[in-house]
Amino acid sequence: MENHNEEINQDPITKEENPVIEEITNENTQSNTGSEEEKWKREFNEMKEKYMRLYADFENFRKRTAKEKLEFMTSANEGLIKSILPVLDDFERAQKNIGNQNVETMKQGVTLIHDKLFKILEHKGLKPMVDVVGSEFNADYHEAITQIPMPDMQGKIVDELEKGYFLGEKVLRYSKVVVGS
């Protein structure tokens, strides 16, 4: 057993001592270096190709979404315009009959057309700002056109010159108001 352990503990043969081992080692190193270089080139080319494909896919996606967005806006406008066309027809009928009707009938006709248009827009999400006069001025909802001296209405809205509207929860148009100072 001792002999066996002695054999294991002996130093291995070095390249300098055996020229055959040195020659085999040099061949393996050269072939490994060449194959590693080829391997790296191959991986680089594969990565480059993947990158180019990914870039092309992204460009196609970007163009497709831009086109879809444009189509969506067009179709949304189309729906609104189609729903307003009957109101336009009513106005044209009213214009044709302006000379044939009395003032009271004309008022009723204009009121009906206004109500019809408002219902269409309300159905699309439009809501008017209500109870503006007498409330506190709020820059998030109101646009002050002018101020008038009114000590009892200081900081409050005295008059509404143009009605404000919401589209959903977003302010579509601010109320144009006169504020007391």
In this predicted structure, the answer to whether residue 1 has a pLDDT above a threshold of 50 is no
Q: What pLDDT shows up at residue 31?
A: 52
Q: Let me know the angle formed at the C-alpha of 112 by 107 and 118, rounded to the nearest 5 degrees.
A: 125
For 7-58, write each residue's pLDDT tens digit. Answer: 444 555 554 555 555 555 555 555 555 688 899 999 999 999 999 999 999 9
CA distance 155 to 139: 11
In this predicted structure, the answer to whether residue 160 has a pLDDT above a threshold of 80 is yes
For 94-115, write each residue's pLDDT tens digit. Answer: 877 777 767 788 888 888 889 9
Rg (Cα) of the chain, in Å, rounded?
42
Q: What pLDDT shows up at residue 98?
A: 76
**Strand arrangement, sheet containing 126-128:** 126-128, 165-167, 170-173
> Domains along the chain?
14-124 (3.90.20), 126-181 (2.30.22.10)
Q: What confidence category does residue 5 fall into, taking pLDDT thresholds of 50, 70 and 90? A: very low
Q: What pLDDT shows up at residue 33?
A: 58
DSSP 18-37: -HHHHHHHHHHHHHHHHHHH
Tokens of 169: 């929860």
